[in-house]
């Protein structure tokens, strides 16, 4: 495996901190400490999208550094299935959240990465940005998700009537953002060959990169801890 770019771990750590803050607010909303109007305000909706977008971009970047995207994808998807099981048991199902998306995106890239890497590097970012922007507009603004009569197509962004997922990041449009990250990862690999680009080889204190290196573990553990802490505080209040 190629040597890690510690600035990417630092970026991932920042995204994790933001994610923990957002989920803390969501738990406070679940216990009616925060109103629905405040929780689902435009500002917090943008905040959530930026957090998820960071994880997706970073996962795309990491796809170019990974030894096995298939293995990464299977592990991530397995964790996502565990999240689904727990979320169904607590009555707030997550059927295709960001973790499900990342697992599927890694698997797809592991299978089709060589094809995507053949796209000219100067055309790829324009193509991916255009496809992401167009698909995002159609999915989230034009149609508010496309309704179809087939229930199992929701991973693609095609939902049946009555579909609900507490966290929902379908492959369309988000896979195009993942591919943009994979393009960026290829650029970083080329730049690192030039030793004059010192920024990509800078060392960051381990305390700031450790969360970024263990993001999946933190993702799986932080919400039960947060939820339990909020429940304890509210119930005693």
Residues 92 and 77: their CA atoms lie apart, in Å, by 19
Per-residue pLDDT of the chain (237 residues), as tens digits, is 456 788 899 999 999 999 999 999 999 998 999 999 999 999 999 999 999 999 999 999 999 988 899 999 999 999 999 999 999 998 889 999 999 999 999 999 999 999 999 999 999 999 999 999 999 988 887 666 666 667 888 899 888 878 889 899 999 999 999 999 999 999 988 887 766 566 667 788 999 999 999 999 999 999 899 999 999 988 886
**Looking at residue 14, what is its pLDDT?**
96
**Looking at residue 145, what is its pLDDT?**
62
β partners of residue 146 = 158
What are phi and psi for residue 97, nearest 5 degrees?
Answer: -85, -170
The residues near 130 (Cβ < 8 Å, ≥ 6 apart) are none
Give 168's DSSP letter: B
Give 200's DSSP letter: G
**Looking at residue 149, what is its pLDDT?**
66
């Amino acid at each position: 495996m190629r040597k890690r770019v510690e600035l990417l771990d630092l970026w991932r750590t920042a995204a994790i901190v933001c994610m923990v803050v957002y989920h803390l607010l969501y738990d406070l909303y679940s216990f009616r400490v925060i109103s629905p109007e405040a929780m689902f305000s435009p500002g917090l909706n943008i905040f959530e999208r930026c957090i998820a977008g960071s994880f997706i971009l970073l996962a795309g970047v990491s796809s170019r550094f990974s030894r096995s995207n298939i293995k990464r994808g299977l592990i991530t998807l397995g964790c996502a299935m565990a999240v689904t099981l727990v979320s169904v048991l607590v009555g707030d199902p997550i059927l295709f959240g960001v973790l499900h998306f990342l697992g599927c995106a890694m698997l797809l890239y592991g299978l089709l990465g060589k094809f995507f890497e053949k796209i000219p590097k100067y055309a790829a970012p324009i193509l991916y940005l255009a496809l992401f922007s167009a698909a995002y507009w159609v999915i989230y603004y034009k149609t508010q998700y496309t309704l179809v009569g087939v229930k199992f197509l929701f991973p693609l962004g095609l939902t049946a009537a009555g579909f609900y997922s507490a966290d929902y990041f379908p492959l369309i449009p988000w896979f195009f953002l993942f591919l943009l990250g994979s393009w960026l990862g290829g650029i970083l690999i080329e730049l690192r060959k030039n030793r004059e680009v010192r920024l990509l080889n800078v060392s960051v204190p381990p305390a700031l990169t450790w969360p970024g290196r263990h993001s999946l573990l933190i993702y799986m553990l932080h919400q039960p801890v947060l939820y339990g802490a909020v429940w304890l505080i509210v119930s005693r209040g």
